[in-house]
Chains A and B, each alone.
Chain A
Amino acid sequence: MVAPRHPDIFGCLVVPRFPLACELGDRPELWGRPVVVAHADAPVVWSASPAATRTHGVVEGQRLSEAMGRCPSLVVLDARPARYEARDAAILDALERVVPGVEPAGLGTAYVELASLARCYRSPAALHAALLGCAPSELRPRLGVGPTKFVAGLAASLAGTHGRSGNVAPNVTVVDASEVAAFVTPVPVTALPVEAEMIRRLRLVGITTVGQLAALPRHALVAQFGAQGMRLVALLDGAAEPVRPRPREERVRERLAFPEPLTSREAVLAAAAQVLRRILRHPRRRDRVARQLVVRAETEQGKRWESRATLRHARCDHDGLWVTLASALERASLPGPVSELTVELRGLRPSRGWQGELLATSRASAERRERIEEGMRQLRTRYGRTLVGRMVPVEPWSRVPERRWALVELE
């Protein structure tokens, strides 16, 4: 007997203008004012508030000087990408506790498959509330539900602005399979998940709605826009793209907060050594090796610095990780005194396949090792500290000689 197949239902959770929403979530007094978020090192608008766009014509990608010329009262906020990524990851984690498979689609956007989940909730409204609850309410998330990811995405982008009768909450738009054509026809082409250049070209020839676009011959779209046009044709024809969940990745994280922010690099390095020792003692780390090392420093003002190093081979030994960690911190341009330091090991997997050396250590080198250790013991007894170091490559490719190799404690 074949189980009856549920009709496809997809959800799309969107936080519009995610970087800006994160900033306004921290500074709610700026809601309703013309505000933009811009990278300190790239003078273009990354994310603009509706007030700035509607009243002054400030749009994303515009040069900051032009934006400020258009709107003298514009509030410019420094972008904090690490913070946005952390908030996005927190939303995805929360969604995964509600829905088994979550597909991230850029900062503040995620797709989920809902058909199998609908019966777990007493009503669709309860399911929608659970999904919306995954994003903090101050970010003002929106939810779109439809028979394909494409329709769900369009519904989410219009949620809260589209007065449809099927809505169960102001920030939710539900589109049934029977009303897809009626829903998408008036949708502006700016809501399509395609490149801005394609939208610009469509508008140049007077195509402003999805309905006008759908009326065009399919071969003309493909001829004009190539692979992107082909994908758009498939989406307009109702092709079902599955949700591609993000791969599950095991990770461990240790954090150290400082009541008195650290101002010197030496203090940050000492703290990093402590966090590393702690993370290596973590029970979930035992008998496992990591693929990636992430170190993150946060200042009291909420500015973050992050470095992500993919290890040449999966490892979890103290010396190997310390070289990566210390060199990242020594190179770092920290945004200020550090009030919190986090070290994270990602991509943990069993270390069974690890082959340290092709040939077993010979007896001669074992004897040499014993002699060195004995000498070190004597030195430690005589001077109270270890004086023997080991050369480790830090940046062997560097043009600056003192950055190529470093001396670390042998033990």
Chain B
Amino acid sequence: MTPRPLNAPVRIPVQVDPAGEPRAIGLPGPLGRRRAVPVAQVAERWRIDEGWWGPNPLSRLYYRLALTDGRLVTVYRDLDDGTWWTQRS
């Protein structure tokens, strides 16, 4: 068995404001259907740039978000292709 990485990121839909900041994120609801949960506050923001010297560079902008339903989630935007992901940090 090949070692399988834990905490692999999961792709999610995110609505952004004109400045590119997350405004609402699509999370699975109680019945499994996705629903947009508005962001109450950006608690923290940090950036990771790794492997830029190699063939598989990685550039991410992480957000720690407080949602209006009280949840705290970590999401990031892949700065290479603009996609959004959620991940346990």
Contact = CB atoms under 8 A, between A and B. Distances in A.
**8 closest A-B pairs by CB:** A406-B3, A409-B1, A401-B7, A402-B5, A405-B6, A407-B4, A408-B3, A402-B7
A391 B58 CA distance: 24
Contacts of A407: 3-6
B24 to A, nearest CB: 23
Contacts of A401: 7, 9, 87-89
A244 B61 CA distance: 53
B45 to A, nearest CB: 14
Contacts of A327: 3
B20 interface: no
Majority SS at the chain B contact face: loop
B87 A266 contact: no
A391 B3 contact: no
B29 interface: no
Chain B contact patch, size range = 10 to 19
A309 interface: no
Nearest to A391: B6
Interface string B1-22: 1111111110000000000000
A403 B1 contact: no
Contacts of B8: 402
A364 B23 CA distance: 51
30 contacts: A41-B53, A269-B2, A322-B3, A326-B2, A326-B3, A330-B3, A333-B55, A333-B56, A389-B1, A389-B4, A391-B6, A399-B48, A400-B48, A400-B50, A401-B7, A401-B9, A401-B87, A402-B6, A402-B8, A402-B9, A403-B5, A404-B7, A405-B5, A405-B6, A406-B3, A406-B6, A407-B3, A408-B3, A408-B4, A409-B1
Contacts of A41: 53
